[in-house]
């Protein structure tokens, strides 16, 4: 059975992942408001990714005879001034999540829980991708600057994103 310290830390991470989904849904709403439907689509897919990250941890706790305890989800920001500001916030948020996953690994290490360490490796790798994707889109937005045509090209590209449920663990 999983140690209580690790069980509690995983519950906290479930909350962080669900907050991430809430934050990205709020960002998607911003893009809908300014008629950047491709960006809105990208963010909605990101919501699904985050819910998958949360349910991956949820399923893992059950598989280890742990106890899932859901907590309140923090209110996300809902005011942004530009797509660049949104993606700066996205990158910063993913860097924060990376630090949380690292802390979770520390708890698993302290608990000497090799199974959990192995499972959490997936999340470590996923965070590399999450940060890299946010950085790439932010770079494109910076290149585009005030060029509306370039912004619409990026919008078109992000509109093609589809959800492929991740295989976690």
Which residues of this protein are in contact with ligand FEO, per CB under 6 A?
Answer: 17, 20, 50, 53, 94, 97, 130
DSSP for 124-148, please give it.
HHHHHHHHHHHHHHHHHHHHHTT-H
Contact 97, 127 (CB under 8 A): yes
- Measured from the CB of residue 17, what is the shortest distance to ligand FEO in angstroms? 5
- Measured from the CB of residue 93, what is the shortest distance to ligand FEO in angstroms? 7
What does the alpha-carbon distance between residue 108 and residue 8 come to, in Å, rounded to a whole number?
11
Which residue lies nearer to ligand FEO by CB, 46 or 151?
A: 46
Which residue lies nearer to ligand FEO by CB, 4 or 103?
A: 103
DSSP letter, residue 81? S
- Measured from the CB of residue 91, what is the shortest distance to ligand FEO in angstroms? 11
Which residue lies nearer to ligand FEO by CB, 44 or 53?
A: 53
Q: Pull the structure tokens for residue 36.
A: 């950047």
């Amino acid at each position: 059975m999983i140690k209580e310290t690790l069980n509690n830390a995983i519950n906290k991470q479930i909350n962080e992942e669900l907050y991430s989904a809430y934050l990205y849904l709020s960002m998607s709403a911003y893009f809908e408001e300014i008629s950047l439907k491709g960006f809105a689509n990208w963010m909605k897919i990101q919501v699904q990714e985050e819910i998958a990250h949360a349910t991956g941890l949820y399923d893992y706790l059950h598989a280890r005879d742990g106890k899932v305890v859901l907590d309140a989800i923090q209110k996300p920001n809902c005011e942004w001034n530009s797509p660049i500001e949104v993606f700066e916030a996205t990158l910063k948020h993913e860097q924060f999540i990376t630090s949380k996953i690292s802390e979770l690994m520390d708890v698993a290490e302290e608990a000497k829980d090799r199974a959990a360490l192995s499972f959490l490796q997936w999340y470590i790798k996923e965070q590399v991708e999450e940060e890299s994707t946010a950085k790439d889109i932010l770079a494109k937005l910076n290149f585009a600057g005030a060029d509306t045509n370039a912004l619409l090209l990026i919008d078109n590209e992000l509109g093609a994103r589809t959800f492929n449920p991740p295989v976690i663990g």
